[in-house]
Amino acid sequence: MAMTYNIPIQEHLGKYLDYAVKTGVKIFQGALVGLEAASGFARPLVAGDALLGHSMDEYDNTDGADGDIKAKVLAGDAAKGYLLTVLVDGVVVTSINAAVFASDDGTLSLTDGGSDSEVGKVANYIEDGKAVVQFLPFSL
Q: Look at residue 75 in the predicted model and tell me its pLDDT.
A: 92
**How many CA atoms are closer than 13 Å to the CA of 107, on its beta-carbon side?**
8
Q: Look at residue 140 in the predicted model and tell me its pLDDT.
A: 42
> CA nearest 64: which of 18, 20, 16?
20
Task: Give the whole-angstrom CA distance, residue 58 versus residue 28.
Answer: 4
Q: Look at residue 1 in the predicted model and tell me its pLDDT.
A: 79
> CA nearest 106: which of 26, 35, 37, 44?
44
Which residue ranges in the chain fall short of pLDDT 70? 10-14, 139-140
Cβ atoms of residues 70 and 21 within 8 Å: yes
Q: Look at residue 13 in the predicted model and tell me its pLDDT.
A: 60
Q: Look at residue 12 in the predicted model and tell me its pLDDT.
A: 61
Query: pLDDT per residue over 63-86, tens digit each?
Result: 999 999 999 999 998 778 999 999
> CA nearest 101: which of 83, 84, 114?
114
Task: Give the whole-angstrom CA distance, residue 118 versus residue 100.
Answer: 6
Cβ atoms of residues 56 and 42 within 8 Å: no
